[in-house]
Structure 1
């Protein structure tokens, strides 16, 4: 017990308190405390055991904290980007009566939208809100319904005199949710638009929200991009965390970043400004008072989602929220105890699903002999041949990487993949992405996945990535010393997709919204990739597969280019570290190889380079690499990343999972890890003799904490 207590104290002492302020600002004090406790316990379960913490694990913990701090500093610096204050309407207290004539909305006998504004006091902000609606009325017909929850200021006097405005006053104080529902009862529009009185709208705001329903299928609710008056982003859709609390996506960030400027699904959009169909709203019995006041909007969105509808964020619609006046508004006046626990209990399965991020690890199947390798490299050649003979190039250089738990396995033994899958799933890996090798009708390294089709073992989700480059003697896919090359043509395009369809039919094949996921490693090598993709999609429909989900890997010429995948016919792209992001540094030790001409880079700099990248305005799956050192393949001129350990990797992965949770939705919440078993490139989650299961434990911990 004493040892366990000492370990707990050492963990608490190791917590970096400088991280507290940014986290409190981001999550709020209660969520911050919950996360801090989780970090000090769940994320370090192995440290609470009776045996002492090993020096290695203690160092990994320090590495994790240091890397986390560097990531937070980079993110904080990015948020400080210059933003311009938003122009807002300002009305003085002595100007309110003079502004009454300007509040009158157009008379519409058959409005398309009913704008419902619940109010309590703060007549000035209500007047400013109404003036902004009048100023930016757009093309959409609407009516305005203001429901007064027994204000004690001049609200009744002012609003009751505004023509064409439906002003309703509660006979007794009902609270926020019943006040909204009462407004809905009086509404005549096809759509209901709930708007807080502390908001001001901008040009085109309502037209764009309505278009969300018109331009997309199965929309249940839509919300705008919400800004603070100083120009910072307040909300680009919202997340629901496992405890029922909310996170506003992009809160405090620059609203002009590409990641916030394309329409996408969200867990929910807040009631600050929310558009729903009136018929649907009434069928679901409106906002549930059980979740008043701060979770009723989330509950409504979850009910809509349960009915098979989507919640859409539309950045083309913009409003400005003045939270400083909210304390006197209906939200503040009728603040009740948090309904988060009730929300989490009612929607436990749905919320758990929303918080799920799939980790997919690339898998190299070159760990068994086959005739071509026997011919090219010598009898019995496998990946282990190069791995085992690697030597350190400088003092402190970790080589060779030798396997631990699974040993020098041979994939011809069926039990190997079963054990790999079991190990991967136990540490949070959702599935494998197997490299697929096809050369004009000739397949290589197909034995492991062919056996999987026949035996259904191992039982793990999987997808394929076509490594569509030439197979060369230098392992670089270039034209020199080609051993077997690609032969692109329409007929080859048809043949390869027909072969891949066999895998897509497997019950374990990974899908996104029902569509089989297929990756292409180097799309730039095709003579006409759009034509190829057209052939693939047509054949998949014809063969009964239906629509497929295609993703282009950001390797080689695509690394760092971030070309929009839709321009090539793809649905998304996949980040592929460390390609294109290495920052050379000085060799840390004395040279041990007089022929050495390689490149040394710092793993921590690599992680920060990826963290700094602004997310694009399309779906990109982020990637993480645990470590990298391809000395086994290029003894004299490798790329070596120093200062890699489970600690920095865990911090990078945690950030990436959290960002993916914010940016992507549903089946697109995927992070790729490079790789499960790229031993000859020093990129492997599989246990080795130096780190043991350290990288796997870091994977599980990062997934839990994020």
Structure 2
């Protein structure tokens, strides 16, 4: 009996050791959340077939890209090939690469046009079927108008395809869908237990309801529905750029004329950037562009009373979408990118009162030349840069 008890104790100690080792190893929570924006356009979407008739999504734009001038690196060639992200096996490979290199959150661009979602198959059929709680995700409602900006064949980039603004009836449908389909998924990203929901264009959001008061009522309803679904609240995140208004037109009490006042009026909890192209003209040397963009973080601290989460952008080259060609960022490298990741990490450390969240543009903005996914030039270089700074 004594030997059995001793053997049982050794087994228990071994199991405890294995459990602790697992907690300290692969399943250990990172000290920083690195969230990469994900553009879900690399699968067949019937509603976009008039733009991408090859039925491969925006890959068609990538492999048909041409250089603007000698030395211009176009087309960008994905190391993994022109894969279908709505295939769980393909997404499984992406998730493995992300989490093993310190990218533990995807922020999916999410669309709603003409009373129905667009490009959801990437999340529903690809990510959610492959993930198995390995990484977290949240939604950025990309509620901008859908224009010919996506269409490389159309030189007029302002032709309207679908409006991004919605009325209250449609918004209520969106709220129910987002809460039931995404918030309730155990992998959905939360801050203080509250699901994070990001809105890309606040101007367009207000426009759909006809007035700031009606837009505020809609967001209050969203909070109420989220609480009713069992969460302690809703964490609203805004994208900081020119589409974030500086005043609340039509509200008599609004006299301050600041973006911070607007965010407080609507009850936003945090903000970040989508990319540096929204902050500085995306043309010229990467270091100059990156330094000018990240130097703005200090002014964001003084301008806003809610947390700002720093954004680091890989590069910028939207030429695949443009005829005639347009400007682009030159001389980007993983080594330069890593310097600004460290700057973002330092910023997070200097703000211990807020979550250590860093956003990255982007996981796969191939048509804008800003992607972490490996290509034939740098291989896994950009992901290795994230790993060297953030992976446990």
Q: The TM-score by the shorter chain falls in which range? A: 0.7 to 0.9
Which residue of 1 is the match for residue 285 of structure 2? 602
After the TM superposition, which residues 32-431 of structure 1 pair with which residues of structure 2 at under 5 Å, given as runs?
356-404=31-79, 406-431=80-105
Matched with 1:3 is none
Q: Secondary structure at the match of 2:358?
A: strand
Alignment check: 8 A CA contact 1:630 1:638 kept: yes
Quickly say closer, same or farther: Cα 1:505–1:441, change in 2 above 3 A.
same
Q: Deviations over 1:268-315 (max 9, x none)?
A: xxxxxxxxxxxxxxxxxxxxxxxxxxxxxxxxxxxxxxxxxxxxxxxx
Matches within 5 A, 1:256-655: 356-404=31-79, 406-451=80-125, 455=129, 457=131, 459-475=134-150, 480-501=158-179, 502-527=181-206, 528=212, 529-558=215-244, 563-564=259-260, 565-583=263-281, 600-613=283-296, 614=298, 615-616=301-302, 617-655=305-343
Q: Secondary structure at the match of 2:319?
A: coil
How many angstroms does 1:579 deviate by? Answer: 2.9
The offset of 1:627, in angstroms, is 1.2
Higher relative contact order (CA 8 A, sep 6+): 2
**Which structure has the bigger radius of gyration?**
1
The answer to whether the Cα contact below 8 Å between 2:101 and 2:386 also exists between their aligned partners in 1 is yes
Per-residue Cα deviation, 1:348-401 (whole angstroms, up to 9, x for no partner): 98xxx9981110000111111121111344241511111111111122211111
| CA distance 1:365–1:676, shift in 2 (3 Å) | same
Q: CA offset at residue 493 of structure 1? A: 1.8
CA displacement at 1:580 relative to structure 2? 3.4
- In the aligned structure 2, how far is the partner of 1:495 from the partner of 1:523? 19
Alpha-carbon separation, structure 2, partners of 1:608 and 1:402: 27
Task: Please give the secondary structure, in 2, of the residue aligned with 1:632.
Answer: helix
Q: What are the ranges of 5 or more consecutive residues in structure 2 without an aligned counterpart?
A: 1-22, 207-211, 247-256
Q: How much has 1:661 moved relative to structure 2?
A: 2.0
CA RMSD of aligned residues (A): 2.7
| Residue 415 to residue 456, structure 1, CA distance change in 2 (3 Å) | closer
Q: Secondary structure at the match of 2:122?
A: helix
Structure 2: distance between partners of 1:430 and 1:562: 33
What 5-or-longer segments of structure 1 have no aligned partner?
1-347, 584-598
Shift in CA distance, 559/536, structure 1 to aligned 2, threshold 3 Å = closer
| 1:552 match: secondary structure | strand
Partner of 1:263: none
Quote the Cα distance in structure 2 between the aligned partners of 1:562 and 1:555: 13
Q: Distance in 1 between matches of 2:359 and 2:58?
A: 22
1:673 pairs with 2:351: no
Q: Which TM-score applies when normalising by structure 2?
A: 0.79
